[in-house]
């Protein structure tokens, strides 16, 4: 399945890196550019993980998140390579997560931090800035959960009421 779905991971990495390149070239740090109501472009950097977790940890977190991202990416590659042809939804989910993980991993390797530039808000409530890689990881995670639920519903061993 890796050969069949690797293109999706590559597409995510290319889109992520291209948009981050343009964000760095066209945006001014912490200066929001309104796009639509509730959506700004806003260049910022994250040395931590999701929601800036461990962002102020003193520098060791760069190496921790690099190692973690590398291990997760290798694990996803192996998992994706072992899937059966019928497991398309699971393959798409894993390919999206892998592409997002690699996109953010590239930033951590080259910059020591992740470039974020998408800001959503409502009134005075602002969601933490994120990027294309984060979006792919989130979409992949949602697909993973949906695949898990649907697999349980359709498996007569796990759900005897659906059997025979």
Tokens of 122: 């409502």
Residues annotated as catalytic (active site), given as ranges: 116, 134
Hey, which residues does 122 pair with through a beta bridge? 125
Report how far residue 94's alpha carbon sits from residue 107's, in angstroms, rounded to the nearest whole number: 20
CA distance linking residue 150 with residue 82, whole number of Å: 20
3-class secondary-structure state, position 32: coil
CA dist., res. 111 & res. 120, Å (int): 24
Which phi and psi (to 5°) does residue 152 adopt? -65, -40
């Amino acid at each position: 399945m890796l050969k069949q779905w690797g293109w999706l991971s590559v597409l995510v990495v290319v889109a992520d890196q291209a948009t981050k390149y343009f964000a760095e070239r066209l945006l001014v740090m912490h200066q929001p550019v309104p796009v639509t109501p509730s959506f700004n472009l806003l260049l910022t950097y994250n040395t931590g993980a999701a929601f800036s977790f461990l962002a102020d940890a003193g520098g060791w977190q760069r190496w921790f998140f690099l190692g973690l991202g590398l291990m997760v990416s290798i694990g996803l590659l192996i998992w994706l390579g072992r899937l059966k042809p019928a497991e398309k939804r699971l393959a798409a989910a894993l390919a999206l997560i892998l592409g997002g993980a690699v996109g953010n991993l590239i930033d951590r390797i080259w910059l020591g931090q992740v470039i974020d530039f998408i800001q959503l808000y409502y009134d005075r409530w602002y969601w933490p800035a994120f990027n294309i890689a984060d979006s792919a990881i989130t979409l992949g995670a949602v697909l993973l959960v949906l695949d898990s639920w649907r697999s349980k519903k359709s498996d007569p061993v796990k759900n005897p009421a659906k059997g025979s």
